Amino acid sequence: MTLINGGFLVFPALEKRFWAKLPSLASGLAGVIIDLEDSIYAAAKADARKMVLANAEVLRALKLNNPELQVYLRINNSATSFFKKDIPLARRLVISKLIDGVCYPKVGSASDLSHLYRVLKTGKTPTKLFLAIETLEGYSNYKALIAPELGVRYVVIGAEDLCADMGLARPRVFYDNPLLNHIAVTVSLQAQLKEVSFLGNVWPYLSKSKLLPCFLKELAADFQVGAAGKIIFHPYQIEFVNKALTAELHGRYPGKVILSRISALQKHADDTGLYVVVHDGRMVDMPEKVRFNKWREAVSEKKTKSVPKPVTQSTKRK
């Protein structure tokens, strides 16, 4: 399971300036989502698909120079007339390894997901899916939809569409509404259970100054409920997501404190055979080692400084 991801930048497939900026933005991102859905009006859908194909070499260079970058194509839902035209393009890009998978909006039912799995299948391995739960129907079926066996790797809550479907105004901070907070918590818990990365909810605003405090507050709340990143729509938001992720990573797993506890625990285990010790007035036992391993894995995935190993019998000074 990927513990820490980062920012996923969504951009309209027809937006030429974003295609030009991608090479310079990639290093700060966990992923890119090329949108064929809401940001493209009906009459321009065909042009958007052509634009993606026209930038095949941009995608090839992007993947070559940034092998860890996740690239997804956001297609139209199967309830629309555009779905059948998006699928051949998606399959072609997956087979060519120009994208990692497909972002599927407004997913509703298990049968909807199964149908998507069948039409996208290109071999023995399922096409990677990035699901957006954006309707009450989708939320009511979230347990069946968060299905890694069908290729689901990421799940996000589409706040705007979900609130519209529920007849609610989208709060500036999604989690300020207790009902929406409950939805995020339950989806996040199911994602953790299935080892699928939860990316909180979609932040639709662009304002740099007026709404920045709300954005930062929502980021903090995202991570508190187990999100591994954030969907964003403007490059200026990248740095805030990365800073918040780093702060959350070290706040949740404070390295020096954990190293101190895990070292004391290991020494006590070596001396007595018991994996429990009182350290700084706190009982420390096996969960601390689990916490340490998760922290080390998360830091490693963020490619930060190497993490020192805990003190063990073999490394203690004679």
pLDDT at 143: 97
Q: Which residues contact 214 (CB under 8 A, 6 or more apart)?
A: 172, 173, 205
CATH 3.30.70.580 fits domain 6-247 = no
Pairing of strands 31-35, 70-74: parallel
* Token couple for 28: 């700060």
Q: Cα 171 vs. chain centroid, distance in angstroms?
A: 21
pLDDT level of residue 3 (50, 70, 90 thresholds): very low
- Spatial CB neighbours of 308, under 8 Å, sequence gap ≥ 6: 259
DSSP run (H or E) holding 238? helix 238-252
C-alpha 71/C-alpha 98 separation (Å) is: 8
Q: Where in the chain is the domain with CATH 3.20.20.60?
A: 6-247
Residue pair 259/308 in contact (Cβ under 8 Å)? The answer is yes
3-state secondary structure of 317: coil
pTM for the whole structure:
0.80
DSSP notation for 241-275:
HHHHHHHHHHHHS-HHHHHHHHHHHHHHHHHHS-S
> pLDDT for 37-71, tens place per residue?
989 999 999 999 999 999 999 999 999 999 989 99
For residue range 183-207, what is the model confidence (pLDDT) as tens digits? 999 999 999 999 999 999 988 887 6
**Angle in degrees, CA 13, 244, 148, rounded to 5:** 60
Mean of pLDDT values over 251-258 = 58
CA angle 189, 190, 196 (to 5 degrees): 100
CA distance 146 to 26: 27
Strands 229-232 and 6-12: parallel
Q: What is the pLDDT of residue 65?
A: 93
Point out the least confidently predicted range of 37-51, 77-91, 230-244.
230-244
Strand partners, 201: 157
Residue 275 pLDDT class (50, 70, 90 cuts): low
In eight-state DSSP terms, residue 258 is H
71: left (phi over 0), alpha (psi -120 to 50) or beta: beta
pLDDT band at 257 (very low <50, low <70, confident <90, very high): low
- Cα 101 to Cα 71, 90, 170, 251, 286: the distances in Å are 7, 8, 29, 32, 38
Tens digits of residue pLDDT in 140-185: 999 999 999 999 999 999 999 999 999 999 999 999 999 999 999 9
